[in-house]
């Protein structure tokens, strides 16, 4: 009973405590305005990392400004997408993720500790600051402020956080956001608070006073959420750890949910004064180490990658060379002082320099960028740890009074080391001009032990903060947490020169004082570099975010390093979908590499099973075709891809011919080389046919028609194109993918069908074929044909018509094919034979137009947006409409056009939804048409699935037309309706009994205005309300919003227990549920496997009814909580919610051994088929037994339940009641209104 009185006391103190003069105040603050569209307050984003997340309407308004939309064009990891193909994610999606996590943190603290008085304005300010914290990043993220700005000698102390503040203020000035902020209760102090959160506030060691102006020291903990200057633990890191690992394909050992759920505010003593700070449970200390170690891993493997770093340096050099020349009368670096110019500064500057007109004199910058595109990079020699103390001493000698940022310190260290190399160069044959020295810093983000500045609490004393002592910390942790690294690169690529450079670097490391002594171990004698003819090079390994570590033949790598292929880095895989799904930033570049990998896997599987039907050269050709399939994307891409592939081959051949003129063999003959190891008489035609996909026109490999089914399968539509993009698109969109391509891949086999060889699959994977086509339909339905992305695509198309001056009208399919034939003829001509006039391009305009086409990328969006050309006014208007979200609004859709009645302001769009089977006159009727299978007994005999073998649960149709209706909205006012009046009903007794009073406006004293002395329950009709303890809105208060509060349990006084669930992550479980879980009756479920005997077939099927039941209880709570928040008129009480969760938890108590085997097979066998018994009946009986044995009735009373009524309600929920045709038990009238609308349906839905 102690628990009960404590709970009631806490509730009483918050809501019902009576003042000495007998007065209790109850004001209602400003009503929070609802969003315009359908009165839905929050907008849902589908995030690829956090899933479905809700954002406040004000955040959406900020997102829809040009200043925030600019972040779509700033890659999160800068240039690292040139190393990791999957690293295409942007600051846009990262900022949304940080805002979401910041909101989660504030809400968790507010729910756990109401005494913190966290207001809605506090929450909103923190979310806005998190959303806007990266507004100031420049092109290629940290490259701009970390390398470029110091290199041009601009402001030594400027950092991107400064620009974030400037851009935030500029955004407020250029957009009508102040009115929106005022509408949601934000004032000037809140704007100050937001800017302080973005910049970060740190308590200085020598001062006790609080310097921030946005919030007082009682809310100092709020400054630790977005940019934590005290210990570095903030939601910015939490998001980028998860997001970067997700896109890089690097395992993430840090579980952010564990820290998030354990966060709590305690009083922490700093500088002889107590400050409120965020602390964490002592048991998550290891997680904090994991967090900082994850940061180190990311920096070591990706952010400071040795090749990525030299690309950063080269781009920095290009920007420096272009700084005063790219834009007339103003430098690139001057943009940091002009936010109008800075808004236009994005990653697009790379293409802007590369394609700049000749009169701008950007030759030096262009050459540097062309070297990057063609992968002509300085080679890595080696690296060594530096002695920072000695470098600091040297720096103080030279510049004793200079305070430097880390970026400028790095620059000075490089100068010191370069001078030291010049003085101590052990091998004078190594020219200084051929070597470059760079310094990078790696670490945990702090130079000290990251745990030193983190405070913890324990279970017994949740409000007492303490630091970890040394004896409490594992000795297996590192002693250092930060280091400086020197790296050396060389430019001379001669084979005999490479060994000398490496030896020289190692000798210098032993002689210089600036390299750590521990790093100066004796080096083994260097092995001479193996020449290209001494050993076959195994290929290059790529880290793919979908397929992991994949190895590609060097021939493929050579194609990848061409400008034609590198262009695909700037073409998004899903086009305009990036404007709807923030995570859809992946490109045709990574998709093409994934296709080449899967094509090789499938071809090798076939080769291993049937070695005589496929050669290594066949595999190479198939992989090249897969790699080059997307080269012509954005136009009739299969044909254009063929043209661009041949353009690569022709360029390679011309390059080799020039080299061969300089080199002669000993016999005086030219050395014969095949471009990309391809047979010009056979392989070229084969690859072109594979890309084009025209089986009817096969001219090569006629005896191997199955090879044409790997890349672009026009026979039945099953190919590696779909296998990769299903997995890749779902991964980046955050959608579930039910299709397992590995099952088809591993079972593939070549069989003969009608005297032709086809790829067939084992009959056991037939369902996977349907899953494949169904996944395609799902992707089209949810993403590719998204109702908004279709509109955005149309507006982009209109803009392109004005901007793109290439005369595509002259490039018909016939003309392009003629030019392709000419290319093939030119490539095949004997070496030394002069070109003939009839061998030139059949259509002269085709060659020039296609050359221009290769320069077209997604960057044209920004070219139009930031153009000042008057001729592009209409095109710019279309793009600005997209950025500012001035789009036609979606009304509805239907399969039957005649079902719509629409006004003149509305327009119709027709979209096709299908499962993506092969199109044409012989289009399959079902996914199984023209798909052949084999069985285990006879693997060489192919057959089609018969109709009676196909599940009757499959759809009967596989394509359909949908009509969508949109209307054009002129102004926001057209959509605004009258706001509902805020209202709250107060009751004198619990369960909404006693004297009641409806309140619809602010009031300073409930007793004086309404004669109310005590409030024991309330029902919020509309709006957000604060009930204050004192009059005139002073003293403690409690916020209530859009729900009903029947009794003390509704005041959130109970502390839930957190479970780490393998599916749902960290979930909070009510204390009463924990008591049930800890009974013998529930613990029994640990020994009953969820899938019964299924674990004998599937080794991973070891999960049990215990974890499933907890998961059901959690989801039941989520669903009823969502209904409770959205529809207050349902009057769902917290008691209802708790009952539903208990029923969810206990619904499987009655399962017997091996789950359904017991009641479906065993019981009927023993008792006879007439015996009526189901496990639900046993669940009710077991529940009753558990309540009686463990005296749970008393615990139910403590948490506000009425056992006499609620136990029957729970039993009916477990048993299942169909409220549509079954009368409700009259003994539970208290829940009658709930039966027909909420509770009895919830478990069945789950």
- pLDDT tens digits along 203-251: 765 566 788 899 998 999 999 999 988 888 999 999 999 999 888 888 8
CA dist 1156 and 1144 (Å) reads 18
What per-residue confidence (pLDDT) applies to 296?
A: 82
Count how many residues are written for the chain. 1246
Q: How confident is the model at residue 982 (pLDDT cuts 50, 70, 90)?
A: confident
- What per-residue confidence (pLDDT) applies to 914? 62
Choosing from 50, 160, 1037, 1231, which is the catalytic residue?
160
Q: Does residue 47 surpass a pLDDT of 70?
A: yes
| pLDDT level of residue 1166 (50, 70, 90 thresholds) | confident
The most confident of the ranges 22-26, 374-378, 777-781 is 374-378
pLDDT band at 323 (very low <50, low <70, confident <90, very high): very high
State the average pLDDT over residues 606-635.
84
- Pick the range with the lowest mean pLDDT from 262-276, 661-675, 747-761, 1001-1015: 661-675
Q: Which helix (H) or strand (E) holds 974?
A: none
What's the whole-number mean pLDDT along residues 1146-1166?
83
State yes or no: pLDDT of 838 exceeds 70.
no
Does pLDDT of 789 surpass 70? yes
CA–CA separation, 189 vs 177, rounded Å? 15
The winner for highest mean pLDDT among 521-535, 674-688, 1152-1166, 1199-1213 is 1199-1213
Averaged pLDDT for residues 321-330: 87
Q: What residue segments make up the domains of the chain, in order of their start?
A: 2-30+979-1050, 45-336, 343-469+477-519, 544-663+674-785, 1054-1245
pLDDT beyond 50 at 77:
yes
Q: Selecting from 3.40.50.10540, 1.10.3210.10, 3.40.50.10490, 3.10.129.10, what CATH number does the domain 1054-1245 have? A: 1.10.3210.10
Is residue 386 a contact partner of residue 516, using CB atoms and an 8 Å limit? Answer: yes
How far is the C-alpha of 127 from the C-alpha of 503, rounded, in Å? 54
Section 823-839 average pLDDT: 52
pLDDT band at 132 (very low <50, low <70, confident <90, very high): very high
Report the distance separating Cα 164 and Cα 655, nearest Å.
47
Contacts of 155 (CB under 8 A, 6+ apart): 149, 336
Both tokens of residue 689? Answer: 């046919």
Q: Among residues of the chain, what percentage have pLDDT more than 90?
A: 21
Helices marked H in 1171-1231 — which ranges? Answer: 1175-1189, 1192-1198, 1203-1215
Is there a catalytic annotation at residue 160? yes
Mean pLDDT of the chain: 77
User: What's the pLDDT band for 904 if we cut at 50, 70, 90?
Assistant: very low
pLDDT tens digits along 1090-1105: 888 776 666 666 788 8
Q: Is the dihedral of CA 1204, 1210, 1215, 1218 positive or negative?
A: positive
pLDDT of residue 322: 93
Query: Across residues 68-89, what is the average pLDDT?
Result: 91
- Given a cut of 80, whether residue 854 has pLDDT beyond it is no
For residue 1220, pLDDT beyond 70: no
CATH class of 2-30+979-1050: mainly beta
How far apart are the C-alpha atoms of 682 and 677, rounded to whole Å? 12
Tell me whether strands 983-987 and 1017-1022 are parallel, antiparallel or unpaired: antiparallel
Q: What is the average per-residue pLDDT within 140-168?
A: 84
pLDDT confidence tier of residue 1230, bands split at 50, 70 and 90: very low
What is the structure's pLDDT at 1100? Answer: 66
Q: Supply the pLDDT for residue 101.
A: 96
Cα–Cα–Cα angle for 145, 147, 150, rounded to 5 degrees: 80
Per-residue pLDDT at 98: 96
Confidence of residue 471 (pLDDT cuts 50, 70, 90): low
Tell me the fold of 45-336.
Hypothetical protein af1432 (1.10.3210)
Least confident of 45-49, 447-451, 581-585: 447-451
Asked if residue 143 has pLDDT above 70, the reply is: yes
In sequence order, what are the residues at sequence separation of 6 or more whose Cβ sits closer than 8 angstroms to the Cβ of residue 319? 139, 148, 332, 349, 353, 365
Tell me the CATH number for domain 343-469+477-519.
3.30.70.2760
Q: Which helix or strand (DSSP H or E) is residue 909 part of?
A: strand 906-914
Query: What pLDDT does 159 receive?
Result: 83
Give the SS3 label for residue 184: coil
**Matching residue, tokens 């670097």:** 505
Give the DSSP letter of residue 214.
S
What integer pLDDT is reported at residue 977 of this predicted model? 40
Question: Three-class SS of residue 334?
Answer: helix
**Are the folds of 2-30+979-1050 and 343-469+477-519 the same?**
no
pLDDT at 295 over 90: no
pLDDT of 1003-1058, one tens digit each?
877 877 777 777 777 777 776 677 766 677 765 556 666 667 765 445 443 456 66
Counting other chains too, the contacts that 989-993 makes at CB distance below 8 Å and 24 or more residues apart are 989/1016, 989/1017, 990/1016, 990/1017, 990/1046, 990/1047, 990/1048, 991/1017, 991/1046, 991/1047, 992/1017, 992/1019, 992/1044, 992/1046, 993/1017
**Domain 544-663+674-785 falls under CATH 3.30.70.940:** no
Residues 130, 133, 137: CA angle, nearest 5 degrees: 150
Evaluate if residue 360 carries a pLDDT over 80: yes
Query: What is the pLDDT, as a whole number, of residue 925?
Result: 66
* Cα atoms found within 13 Å of the Cα of residue 1060, Cβ hemisphere only: 8
Question: Which residues lie across from 189 on neighbouring strands?
Answer: none
Q: Which of the two residues, 660 and 375, has the higher pLDDT score?
A: 375
The answer to which of 259-273, 548-562, 1031-1045 has the lowest mean pLDDT is: 1031-1045
């Amino acid at each position: 009973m102690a628990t009960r009185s404590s709970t009631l006391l806490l509730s009483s103190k918050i809501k019902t405590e009576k003042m000495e003069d007998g007065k209790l105040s109850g004001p209602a603050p400003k009503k929070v305005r609802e969003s315009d569209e359908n009165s839905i307050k929050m907008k849902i984003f589908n995030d690829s990392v956090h899933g479905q997340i809700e954002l406040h309407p004000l955040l959406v308004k900020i997102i829809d400004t040009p200043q925030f939309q600019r972040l779509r064009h700033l890659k999160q990891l800068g240039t690292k997408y040139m190393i990791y193909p999957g690293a295409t994610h942007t600051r846009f999606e990262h900022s949304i993720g940080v805002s979401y996590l910041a909101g989660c943190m504030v809400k968790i603290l507010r729910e756990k500790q109401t005494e913190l008085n966290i207001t809605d304005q506090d929450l909103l300010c923190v979310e806005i600051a998190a959303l806007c914290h990266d507004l100031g990043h420049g092109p290629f993220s940290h490259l701009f402020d970390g390398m470029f700005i110091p290199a041009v000698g601009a402001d030594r102390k400027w950092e991107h956080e400064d620009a974030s503040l400037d851009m935030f203020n500029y955004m407020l000035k250029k957009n009508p956001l102040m009115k929106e902020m005022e509408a949601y209760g934000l004032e000037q102090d809140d704007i100050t608070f937001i800017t302080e959160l973005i910049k970060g506030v740190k308590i200085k060691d020598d001062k006790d006073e609080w310097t921030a102006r946005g919030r007082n020291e009682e809310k100092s903990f709020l400054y630790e959420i977005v940019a934590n200057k005290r210990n570095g633990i903030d939601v910015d890191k939490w998001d980028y750890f998860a997001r970067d690992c997700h896109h890089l394909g690097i395992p993430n050992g840090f579980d952010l949910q564990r820290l998030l759920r354990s966060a709590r505010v305690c009083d922490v003593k700093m500088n002889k004064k107590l400050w409120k700070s965020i602390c964490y449970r002592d048991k998550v200390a290891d997680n904090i180490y994991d967090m900082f170690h994850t940061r180190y891993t990311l920096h070591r493997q990706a952010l400071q990658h040795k090749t990525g770093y030299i690309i950063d340096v080269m781009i920095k050099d290009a920007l420096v060379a272009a700084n005063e020349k790219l834009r007339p009368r103003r430098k690139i670096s001057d943009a940091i002082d002009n936010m109008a110019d800075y808004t236009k500064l994005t990653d697009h500057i790379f293409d802007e320099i590369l394609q700049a007109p000749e009169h701008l004199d950007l030759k030096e910058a262009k050459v540097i960028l062309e070297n990057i595109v063609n992968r002509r990079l300085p080679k890595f020699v080696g690296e060594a740890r530096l002695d920072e103390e000695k470098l600091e001493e040297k720096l103080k000698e030279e510049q004793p009074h200079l305070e430097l940022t880390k970026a400028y310190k790095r620059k000075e260290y490089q100068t010191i080391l370069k001078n030291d190399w010049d003085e101590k160069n052990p091998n004078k044959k190594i020219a200084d001009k051929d070597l470059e020295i760079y310094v990078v810093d790696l670490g945990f983000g702090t130079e000290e032990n990251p745990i030193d500045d983190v405070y913890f609490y324990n279970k017994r004393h949740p409000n007492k903060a303490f630091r970890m002592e040394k004896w409490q910390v594992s000795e297996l942790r590192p002693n250092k947490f930060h280091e400086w690294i020197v790296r050396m690169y060389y430019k001379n690529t001669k084979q005999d020169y490479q060994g000398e450079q490496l030896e020289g670097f190692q000798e210098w490391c032993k002689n210089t004082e600036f390299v750590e002594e521990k790093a100066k171990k004796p080096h083994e004698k260097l092995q001479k570099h193996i020449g290209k003819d001494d050993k076959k090079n195994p290929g290059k390994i790529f880290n793919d975010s979908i397929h992991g570590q994949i190895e590609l033949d060097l021939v493929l790598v050579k194609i990848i390093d061409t400008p034609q292929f590198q262009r695909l880095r700037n073409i998004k895989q899903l086009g305009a979908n990036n404007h709807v799904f923030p995570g859809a930033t992946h490109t045709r570049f990574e998709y093409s590499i994934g296709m080449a990998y899967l094509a090789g896997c499938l071809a090798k599987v076939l080769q291993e099973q049937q070695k005589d039907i496929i050669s290594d050269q066949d595999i190479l050709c198939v992989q090249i075709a897969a790699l080059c399939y997307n080269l012509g994307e954005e136009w009739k891409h299969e044909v254009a891809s063929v043209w661009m592939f041949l353009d690569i081959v022709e360029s390679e051949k011309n390059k080799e011919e020039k080299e061969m003129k300089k080199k002669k063999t000993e016999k005086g003959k030219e050395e014969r080389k095949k471009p990309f190891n391809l047979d010009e008489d056979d392989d070229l035609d084969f690859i072109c046919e594979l890309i084009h996909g025209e089986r009817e026109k096969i001219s090569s490999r006629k005896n191997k028609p199955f090879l044409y089914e790997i890349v672009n399968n026009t026979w039945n539509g099953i190919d590696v194109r779909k296998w990769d993009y299903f997995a890749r698109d779902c991964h980046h969109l955050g959608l579930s993918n039910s299709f397992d391509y590995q099952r088809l891949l591993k079972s593939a086999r070549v069989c003969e069908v009608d005297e032709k060889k086809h790829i067939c699959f084992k009959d056991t994977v037939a369902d996977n074929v349907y899953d494949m086509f169904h996944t395609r339909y799902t992707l089209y339905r949810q993403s590719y044909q998204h109702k908004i992305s279709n509109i955005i695509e149309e507006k982009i198309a209109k803009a392109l018509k004005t901007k793109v001056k290439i005369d595509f009208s002259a490039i018909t399919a016939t003309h392009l094919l003629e030019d392709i034939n000419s290319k093939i003829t030119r490539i095949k001509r004997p070496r030394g034979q002069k070109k003939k006039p009839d061998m030139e391009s059949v259509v002269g305009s085709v060659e020039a137009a296609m050359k221009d086409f290769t320069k077209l990328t997604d960057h044209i969006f920004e070219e139009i947006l930031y153009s000042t050309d008057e001729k592009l006014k209409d095109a710019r208007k279309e793009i600005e409409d997209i950025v500012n979200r001035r789009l036609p609004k979606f009304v509805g859709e239907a399969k039957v056009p005649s079902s719509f009645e629409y006004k003149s302001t509305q327009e119709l769009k027709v979209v096709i939804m299908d499962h993506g089977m092969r199109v044409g006159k012989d289009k399959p009727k079902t996914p199984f048409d023209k798909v052949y299978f084999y069985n285990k007994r006879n693997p060489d005999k192919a057959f089609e699935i018969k109709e009676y073998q196909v599940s009757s649960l499959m759809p009967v149709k596989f394509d359909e037309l949908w009509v969508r209706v949109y209307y054009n909205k002129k102004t926001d006012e057209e959509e605004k309706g009258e706001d509902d009046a805020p209202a709250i009903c107060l009751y004198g007794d619990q369960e909404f009994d006693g004297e009641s009073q409806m309140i619809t406006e602010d009031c300073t004293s409930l007793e004086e205005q309404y004669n109310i002395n005590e409030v024991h329950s309330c029902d919020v009709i509309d709006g957000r309300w604060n009930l204050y303890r004192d009059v005139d809105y002073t003293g403690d208060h409690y916020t209530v919003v859009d729900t009903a509060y029947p009794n003390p349990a509704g005041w959130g006084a109970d502390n839930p227990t957190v479970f780490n669930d393998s599916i749902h992550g960290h979930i909070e479980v009510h204390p009463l549920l924990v008591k049930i879980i800890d009974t013998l009756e529930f613990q029994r479920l640990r020994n009953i496997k969820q899938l019964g005997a299924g674990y004998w077939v599937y080794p991973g099927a070891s999960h049990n009814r215990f974890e499933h039941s907890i998961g059901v209880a959690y989801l039941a709570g989520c669903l009823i909580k969502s209904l409770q928040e959205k529809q207050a008129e349902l009057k769902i009480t917290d008691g209802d919610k708790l009952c539903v969760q208990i029923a969810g938890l206990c619904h499987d108590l009655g399962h017997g051994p091996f789950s359904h085997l017991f009641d479906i097979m065993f019981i009927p066998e023993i008792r006879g088929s007439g015996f009526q018994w189901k496990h639900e009946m046993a669940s009710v009986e077991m529940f009753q037994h558990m309540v009686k044995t463990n005296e749970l009735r008393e615990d139910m009373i403590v948490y506000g339940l009425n056992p006499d009524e609620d136990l029957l309600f729970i039993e009916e929920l477990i048993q299942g009641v169909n409220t549509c045709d079954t009368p409700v038990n009259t003994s539970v009238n208290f829940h009658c209104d709930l039966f027909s609308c909420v509770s009895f349906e919830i478990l069945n839905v789950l």
